[in-house]
Structure 1
């Protein structure tokens, strides 16, 4: 496959991902997603509400190292630093879903109480600072707080997930939102401290990618998108 076809196909995936995140309430006016092109660059969605991304709309190529191109949102620095520190990362999602935002505002991250939560073993990171991430120092701090997890929550300021692909990062965003929903329900019942949690050993076994776990959720999240052909998915 030629480089131009590869970039065209990846651009389409970024658009589909952006609309899926908007459709399922994981983002609103704010948020962004990206997919790695190669070791030195990635594609980020248009700087607009993600659900309003147009069919065929261009995405922006961003360097992994160096200044952000004109018109690219400042917090895309988070994507840059993730791609720098994780050579295996193929996709990044910055989102602001409701249950996650509520839990992060409490300065808490979800315990591993359900299967979806195990994909963030040893646990989602927490960046305990509500300020916008618009400089390299803060971006580096957020990624450091993320540690080895697939996700990090920022108090009062959303979350970031990273996956082997953008499709995986989108699914992980949905998983983190659901894990936060479970945690808030546990807190409401007053049983959070006594309820069972999944151990690290159990999480290693449960957090599988077998059985088309991510593919099936991606199909669900992108159903009805105008650029999706189910025979090709």
Structure 2
């Protein structure tokens, strides 16, 4: 049975495009919960409403990742107003970060922000992400950095966040964690999976305490270009398999 065959219907008055964005976003929350990449109620992922580009969906503040479903996501506008009534609010730092992205980059359809042990460790290392292995070479000379300014409650930080991200799809938030963006949830989520994995590999490699063997700059650049030009964008090949895995491990409750 295909994934779409078990799709639950959207609520009355909701477009199919919005419902798909909701299901994909709820699936991303369930996926990262199953992987253990959570921080209680404090990290956040979002998706732009495809047919209402000044609105985006984000997790209800107070719920953990495994509690989030397609229906209970909070819909807000870029100015921070609730578009639909909700018993939950939204994380104010989450609003600062995600509204900055959607305002500055019309091409962004989704954003993922996590702070895991591995990502916070790498974000605190002066050299940032190192070109240590095939996964991390996807980001060779292709990742942005944003200096830590405290908890992202100051709306004035939005301009600096957007400026530092520039045209990139991934950013290390110094002393904080990771951020990925994509045209849709599958792209942003799969990029985050591999960026987090790269951070785990880096922490493990450095913990070995041995001299490092790095590919040449020419090989690093060639590998990064292979990711860009020899494969579809992240999420295109992987997402249906990810959904099947989530359903096998955790059921279809995220579609409710």
**TM-score between the two structures when normalised by the length of structure 2:** 0.76
- How far is 1:52 from its partner? 3.2
Mark the structure with the bigger radius of gyration: 2
- How far is 1:166 from its partner? 1.0
Counterpart of 1:218?
242
Counterpart of 2:117?
98
Counterpart of 1:67?
80
Distance of 2:233 and 2:47 partners within structure 1: 22
Distance of 2:54 and 2:226 partners within structure 1: 34
**Root-mean-square deviation (CA), in Å?**
2.9
Q: Alignment partner for residue 36 of structure 1, among 48, 72, 90?
A: 48
Q: Does residue 165 in structure 1 map to residue 192 in structure 2?
A: no
Counterpart of 1:180?
199
Aligned residues: 227
**Unpaired stretches in structure 1, ≥5 consecutive residues:** none
Counterpart of 1:47?
61
SS of structure 1 residue aligned to 2:160: helix
Q: 1:56 to 1:151 in 2, by over 3 A?
A: closer
* 1:171–1:218 contact (8 Å) kept in structure 2: no
Cα deviation code 1:162-217 (max 9, x no counterpart): 0111122111111111111222234333434x522542233111342279543266
* 1:122–1:149 contact (8 Å) kept in structure 2: no
* 1:108–1:126 contact (8 Å) kept in structure 2: no
Q: Alignment partner for residue 26 of structure 2, among 15, 21, 46?
A: 15
Cα deviation code 1:80-137 (max 9, x no counterpart): 1111222111111111122111111224421233333244353322222151111222
- How far is 1:68 from its partner? 4.9
- Greater CA deviation, 35-44 or 110-119? 110-119
**Unpaired stretches in structure 2, ≥5 consecutive residues:** 1-9, 83-87
Distance of 2:14 and 2:28 partners within structure 1: 21
Q: Does residue 209 in structure 1 map to residue 222 in structure 2?
A: no
Q: 1:149 to 1:119 in 2, by over 3 A?
A: farther
